A = this chain, B = another copy of it.
């Protein structure tokens, strides 16, 4: 199967060049022909007026939490968790998680996302939804050491790795998901590190999301969460750390040394009043920073272009420096750096030999006029409804802003049915 994306503006090597062509053979980018013949291809996608980018990467979410989108907002964190989220999560089942995951995946594809990192429960159902939908994902079972099912959860993550890692034409990778230092005591982290090490798996965790959490770890252990996790060997697994809002210079130096990749979730950090991560310092030190939406309950959408826009905006005001996180940095976080966060080595760039995860953005909206700088327009003016075409692993999932494979009305109905079921059980 050979596909040509014809006469498109190409984002490559961090610059945009007009009137290029992209050749895809099966699941891989195989070249950028200068004079392609339409007859040589099984499918030709017209790229005129479009901008081709590496598929967007959502580096941190809890996908099935779509069920809690706008279910309870404008509350204090502990009230929200204790009165609303935890009692409802207790009633989750396989049926609810599958339906809500399909909803979340569809929303992400609509927004140009081609891969995501997830941490939640009922992960077999999440993996089934990833397999069925055609998206790519790095999945982990959320693990907490302080709950009665700590050992069972760890066992599930191991089994989940063995069953799903590398499956769905290689679209699924499995990580271990130790939730956070405040829910995973040192001995449990050591067990996770050992289990991940035995399988060669990487880890996905939350670190330094709130000030209170950092203060409490420092009080308990006499060191920062970053220093504690480093000491316990978590970073030696290869680590994707969500949030990192409250990290200092010494923490960041450890992160650089150990290659910790950061999932920056500006929307969630703003809405939950967690704070604003020192992203400009991380970038300066060379830390890999991607973008995440977090769960829909704390965002409340899964729109990664909105996160890019926020990342390009908020650090300027927070540091009172208009030069931090320029347009190209924000675009890079959503694409190449995001893919690196998930541990991919052949995804995140439009280059020969890379997997064909490609997002085409339509530049005909009024907010793309007049035609000045496309990189700036993408970072500061565009929105996710400009996404026209999404290809994952060489397969077109969205074209002309319409889904080509998913039954959206059914997905919405199932999301509604399972939500009703869940909430009526409360």
Contact = CB atoms under 8 A, between A and B. Distances in A.
Interface of A: 66-71, 73-77, 100, 103, 106-107, 110, 211, 267, 269-276, 296, 299-303, 306, 309-310, 312-314, 316-323, 326-327, 364, 366-367, 369-374, 376-377, 380-381, 383-385, 408, 411-412, 415-416, 418-419
Stoichiometry (number of copies): 2
A375 B268 CA distance: 18
B367 A270 contact: no
A406 to B, nearest CB: 10
B377 A110 contact: no
B316 A271 contact: yes
Contacts of A408: 366
Contacts of A73: 326-327, 373, 376, 380
A250 to B, nearest CB: 23
Nearest to A422: B370
Kindly list the 9 A-B residue pairs having the minimum CB-CB distance in the complex, ordered from nearest: A70-B376, A385-B385, A370-B419, A74-B326, A300-B380, A270-B313, A273-B322, A300-B381, A273-B316
9 contacts: A69-B370, A75-B322, A100-B370, A270-B314, A271-B316, A301-B383, A366-B412, A369-B415, A369-B416
A317 B274 contact: yes
A320 B275 contact: yes
Given A70-B380, A301-B383, 16 more contacts: A69-B372, A69-B377, A70-B377, A71-B372, A73-B373, A73-B380, A74-B327, A107-B367, A211-B320, A270-B317, A273-B321, A276-B318, A314-B314, A369-B415, A370-B418, A383-B385
Contacts of A370: 66-67, 69, 100, 103, 415-416, 418-419
Given A369-B415, A383-B383, A275 B71 contact: no
A369 B66 contact: yes
Q: Which of A110, A299, A301, A322 has the most CB of B within 10 A?
A: A322
Contacts of A107: 366-367
**Residue among A269, A300, A385, A418 with most chain B CB within 10 A:** A300
A277 to B, nearest CB: 10
A374 B269 CA distance: 22
Q: Secondary structure at chain A's binding surface: helix, strand, loop or mixed?
A: helix
Contacts of A327: 73-74
A301 B367 contact: yes
A296 B110 CA distance: 26
Nearest to A326: B74
Nearest to A378: B70
B303 A383 contact: yes
Contact of A313 (B77, B271, B320, B385): B271
Given A103-B370, A314-B314, A301 B381 contact: yes
A383 B300 CA distance: 11
A369 B412 contact: yes
Nearest to A325: B74
A383 B380 contact: no
A208 to B, nearest CB: 15
A75 B376 CA distance: 12
A276 B364 CA distance: 32
Contacts of A367: 69, 107, 300-303
A274 B316 CA distance: 8
Contacts of A273: 316-317, 319-322
A120 to B, nearest CB: 17
